[in-house]
């Protein structure tokens, strides 16, 4: 199985992390009991909390922090640069010195639907839900459901009532 995994030595893996085949992890931190699906890349300086589920084909770039108990659907893309360019004004290929990583924060208990794009410099609030295919361009308040392009608040999350057995 190891021939299908690319986990750099500087990755910090918590206890009981479940990792699928065909993943690329480097310089990141993954919390306890988190599940990482196939074809996921998590870059350096990204953090994923405890008990998260990161579904297949998702890209988590540098500058993204995902707190505990977060669900990230299939094919979600995070962005860390509002004005990406390949070259400097002088025509040279850019290096890390030529741009600044922009941060993104996904708060505890949030859910991000499949196919969503999360731009940089945003916070997705606690227990918020981002509908599938949405493009998040600004902060999402806690306990709200946002959908669309750009994502807009549609309604509020109703507290879940425990089922008595």
Q: Model-level pTM greater than 0.85?
A: yes
Q: pLDDT tens digits, residue range 76-132?
A: 999 999 999 999 999 999 988 888 999 999 999 999 999 999 999 999 999 999 999
Q: pLDDT tens digits, residue range 3-44?
A: 677 889 999 999 999 999 999 999 999 999 999 999 999 999
- Residues labelled as active-site residues: 57
Whole-number pLDDT of residue 109: 97
Whole-number pLDDT of residue 155: 94
What mean pLDDT do residues 61-78 have?
Answer: 98
Where are the strands (E) in 10-165, listed by range?
Answer: 12-13, 18-19, 23-25, 29-30, 35-36, 41-42, 47-48, 53-54, 59-60, 64-66, 71-72, 77-78, 104-106, 111-112, 117-118, 123-124, 129-130, 135-136, 144-147, 152-156
What mean pLDDT do residues 45-72 have?
Answer: 98
Whole-number pLDDT of residue 1: 47
* Residue 161 scores a pLDDT above 60: no
* Residue 165 scores a pLDDT above 80: no
User: Which residue would you say has higher pLDDT here, 119 or 158?
Assistant: 119
């Amino acid at each position: 199985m190891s021939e299908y995994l690319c986990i750099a030595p500087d990755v910090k893996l918590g206890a009981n992390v479940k990792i699928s085949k065909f993943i690329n992890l480097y310089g990141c931190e993954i919390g306890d009991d988190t599940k990482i699906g196939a074809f996921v890349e998590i870059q350096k300086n990204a953090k994923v909390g405890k008990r998260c589920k990161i579904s297949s084909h998702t890209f988590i770039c540098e500058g993204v922090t995902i707190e505990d108990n977060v669900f990230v659907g299939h094919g979600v893309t995070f962005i860390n640069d509002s004005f990406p360019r390949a070259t400097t004004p002088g025509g040279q290929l850019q290096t890390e010195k030529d741009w600044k990583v922009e941060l993104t924060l996904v708060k505890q208990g949030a859910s991000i639907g499949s196919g969503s794009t999360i731009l940089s410099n945003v916070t997705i609030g606690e227990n918020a839900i981002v509908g599938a295919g949405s493009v998040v361009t600004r902060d999402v308040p806690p306990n709200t459901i946002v959908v669309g392009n750009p994502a807009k608040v549609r309604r509020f999350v109703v507290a879940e009532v425990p089922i008595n057995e």
